[in-house]
Amino acid sequence: MSFLAWVFALGALTIALPIVFHLVRPTPKGSQPFGSLMFLRQSPPRITKRNRIDNWLLLLLRSLVILLLVAAFMRPFVRTGGEIFVNDLPGNRVAVLIDTSSSMRRDGVWDEVRQALDKTLADLEPGDDVALFTFNQQLQTHVGFSEADVVDLASRKRMVNDQFALLSPTWFQTDLGNALASTADFVSELDESRRSETGLQIVLISDMQQGADLGGLQTYVWPEDVRVELCKVMPSSSSNAFARVLPEQSTTALDAGRRVRVTNAEDSETETFQVTWQNAAGKKDEASTTTFYVPPGTSQLLRVPDPLTDTAEALVMTGDQCDFDNQYFVTLPSTQEIPIAYFGNDLKDDATGSVFFLDRVIPKSKSRVVRVDQYSPTETQPWVDGITPRLAVVTAAISAPVAEKLDQWVQDGGLLLTILTDQEGLDSMQSLLPTFRKGESEIPEDEYLMFGEIDFAHPLFQALSGPRFNDFTNIRFWNRLELVLDETAQETQVVARFDDDSLALWQTPRGDGLVIGMASSWRPADSQLAMSTKFVPLITSLLGMTDRTKQMSASYLVGDPMQVPDDEQGWQVEDPQGRKLELLSGTGNRPIFEQPGIYQFRNGEREFLAAVNLDPTESQTAAVDSDRLESFDVRVGQQPSREELVGSLQKLKDRQLEQRQRIWKWLLLAVMGLLVVETLVAGRSSQTTIINEAAA
């Protein structure tokens, strides 16, 4: 006979209670104050202890009732099946999950990973299965779990060691949340019958840096039977800081130097750092060296002098003990001169003309200087300085040779903006715009038009599509040329219409280039466009359309996919190591940036540079505790040992036996029977007492 709940055996002590109650009578409570006790004497009953038990049979019956009740509460059962032994259990499934993010490149970390892995493998017991996973921004399986029923542990260990020898830290960021969730799914891929008996364990070997992304665990329901054993690996020195070049707050800022922020880690031990520019050859520009004093856990922002040469490619920081994130790569574009060819009869200082506004609308900045060159609309002239303009604006009727030259330029990829305000101008553009003819209606005097319908998806208006900016009702047009578009002109895209439904803005592709037409002008005599707040963004968007590399960002993070303008074919990429890669067209498996540095993109004569840097979260190297994982309901800890598992399984089996046998019911029946007997005996005993007292 065994019992499930031994703790109820303490209830047997209650046998003492009836005996104590039997022997002790309580002292009367309360007292009566009285003037004088001189006429009183003490009267029985006396306050004494009775030291004699009157009825042994009753005491025995009552004690037996209590004992049987206690036995029923202890849930007795008879163990019929065999016991469970350690060898009957299947082995544990252990997934070793190693962090290979860039923060693991710190000194001494990878050696500790090796030691942690060796210890984990040494702790495995016969029958255990082991798999090897690594993660950075993605999870990778290097050794999966065995499919066979009988696991050869020695060979599994050998496979893990062989695969680990091929591993090294990467430059990618850390997505710990998704890696843990995916590994938990791998570990728990078992039949329900086997899963209850198998210990599911993840051994996480990581530096547990503060910047690791745990967002993947927020929506993941952690399996209750999967435990995570945390092996935290620490570098030889935790002092780490990193520098970043920040973008200018204003495009018109002309201040000397660039804004640089240095951030020091919370557990850093140093506070003084130097920042300097370095060119591609590794030569430092000592003149630009700037010292930062940054206490741990804070950051400081200073201006670092511009590099003397345009060839500087990295900002290098010294002063901390972790070098992996001490370089910040930048592409320093030289000031770009953008020529605009203007074909019109007005002069730059004529405030009633168009070029007056065009020349002033784009301010000069560090990266861009816009130059408007005036050309005669009737005579062909060579391009100024021999530089092909990025944009041509025609506001007057041009001669046929000029039109022919512009047509050729557009077909080679130029962007032409033509302002059509009269029949003469339309006729001169006939070779470029053959599908347009003049309409008959005109705006009556004292009347005006406004933009009625605008295609905000067009690059011209895209920047103004927000609800705060898309109100064009303040711009009035007094003169416009009504144009009728032939039905055959399929390629022409209407960008905007006036509120009388006539054409206002349209675009027509021509060869590799584009012709954008406008049925009015921004001269003050024609409209309020030049005076409105919309003019600057419109012209800026127009210039943006001329930049064929505009889709390229100047700065990327390691892990970002490589992008080329318009998904064109023929682009070659040269990585910082000098390796070349051919980019295929299409949006399929686009290669990603695998390391920080300057990547060079080439396509024929066109080329641009891309600076690729580490994810800033990787520089947040202060270690966090396992509490952070537990806050996402991750079960941190080791699986119970085989002996503990056997104990818990045996308990489970005993509980099932007890529920099947239900011996406590029979004990309760016996208690009720004994209570009946006790009642009879007690009744007879009290009758005898009364008779004896009466006789006395």
Partner 1 sequence: MSILKRIFRAPQTTAVEASTVAGQAASRVSIDPQSLMKIRNLELRAKSVVDGFLNGIHRSPWHGFSVEFTDYRQYSPGDDVRYLDWKLFARQDRYYIKRFEDETNLRCYLVADLSASMEFGSLGFSKADYARTALATLGYYLSLQRDAVGLLTFDETIGEYLPPRYRPGHLRRVMLGLERATAGKRTDLAPPLQQISRLAQRRGLVVLASDLLAPIDDLQQQLGYLRSQGHEVLVWRILDPAEVNFEFSDAKMFEDMESGKRLFVDPVSVRKNYLDKFQQHSQQLSELCNQQGVDLQVMQTDRPLDEALLDYVKNRSRMQTPGHRRSNLSPPASGGRA
User: Should residue 37 be labelled a site residue for partner 1 when binding is judged by CB under 8 A?
Assistant: yes
SS3 assignment, position 684: helix
Query: Which one among 26, 34, 49, 466 touches partner 1, defined by CB under 8 A?
Result: 34
Binding piece for partner 1, criterion CB under 8 A, among 23-31, 164-172, 276-284, 287-295? 23-31
Nearer to partner 1, 44 or 578 (CB): 44
**Distance, CA of 222 to CA of 582 (rounded, Å):** 42
**Cα distance between residue 453 and residue 472, in whole Å:** 10
Choose the stretch contacting partner 1; rule: CB under 8 A; options: 30-38, 254-262, 385-393, 449-457.
Answer: 30-38
Q: Among 27-35, 179-187, 493-501, 632-640, which window interacts with partner 1 (CB under 8 A)?
A: 27-35
Residue 466 interacts with partner 1 (CB under 8 A)?
no
3-state secondary structure 264-308: ECCCCCCCEEEEEEEECCCCEEEEEEEEEECCCCCEEEEEECCCC
Residue type, 661: Q
Instruction: State the nearest-atom distance from the C-beta of 35 to partner 1, in Å.
Output: 4
Query: Of 24-32, 60-68, 426-434, 454-462, which segment contacts partner 1 by CB under 8 A?
Result: 24-32
For residue 190, the 8-state DSSP code is S
Residue 34: CB minimum distance to partner 1, A: 5
**CB-wise, 28 or 604, nearer to partner 1?**
28
- Residue 375 DSSP SS3: strand
Nearer to partner 1, 31 or 473 (CB): 31
CA distance 641 to 92: 10
Closest distance between partner 1 and the C-beta of residue 40, in Å? 6
Residue 41 in the binding site for partner 1 (CB under 8 A): yes
The owner of tokens 């302002």 is 419
488: contact with partner 1 by CB under 8 A: no
48 binds partner 1 (CB under 8 A): no
Q: Name the one residue in this structure whose structure tokens are 């506004």.
A: 357
49 touches partner 1 (CB under 8 A) = no
Minimum distance from residue 50 beta carbon to partner 1 (Å): 17
Of the pair 1, 40, the CB lying nearest partner 1 is at 40
Q: How far is the CB of 29 from partner 1 (least distance, A)?
A: 9
Asked if residue 339 lies in contact with residue 415, where contact means CB atoms within 8 angstroms, the answer is no
Least Å distance between CB 696 and partner 1? 17
What's the rounded Cα separation, in Å, for the pair 529 and 512? 29
Count of other CB atoms within 10 angstroms of residue 646: 18
Among residues 28 and 82, whose Cβ is nearest to partner 1? Answer: 28
Rg (CA), the chain: 44
Least distance (Å) between residue 691 CB and partner 1: 24
Q: What are phi and psi of 174, to 5 degrees?
A: -110, 115
654: tokens are 């005993």
Q: What is the DSSP string of 438-500?
A: E-S--PPTT--B-EEEE-TTSHHHHTT-STTT---TT--BS----EEE-TT--S-EEEEEETT
Phi/psi of residue 301, each to 5°? -120, 125
Look at strands 483-485 and 436-438 and give their pairing.
antiparallel
**Judged by CB under 8 A, how many residues of this single chain contact partner 1?**
19
In angstroms, give the least distance from the CB of 42 to partner 1. Answer: 5
Work out which of 1, 10, 45, 660 binds partner 1, going by CB under 8 A: 45
Handedness of CA 436, 438, 439, 444 (dihedral sign): positive
CB of 690 to partner 1, least distance (A): 21
Give bridge partners of residue 340 from the DSSP assignment: 372, 391
Measured from the CB atom, is 37 or 694 closer to partner 1?
37
* Closest to partner 1 by CB, 40 or 221: 40
Least distance in angstroms from the C-beta of 21 to partner 1: 20
Is residue 26 part of the contact set for partner 1 (CB under 8 A)?
no
- The residue among 50 and 158 lying less far from partner 1, judged by its C-beta, is 50
Main-chain dihedrals φ then ψ at residue 490, nearest 5 degrees: -75, -30
Pattern of binders to partner 1 over 423-442, x per CB under 8 A? --------------------
- Does residue number 46 form part of the binding site for partner 1 (CB under 8 A)? yes
Compute the least distance from the CB of residue 48 to partner 1, in Å.
Answer: 11
The string of DSSP codes covering 50-65 is ----S-HHHHHHHHHH
Q: Residue 56 interacts with partner 1 (CB under 8 A)?
A: no
Residue 28 has which token pair?
């009367």
Contact between 467 and partner 1 by CB under 8 A: the answer reads: no
In this structure, which amino acid lies at residue 531? M
For position 28 contacting partner 1 by CB under 8 A, the verdict is yes
**Which residues contact partner 1 by CB under 8 A?**
28, 30-47
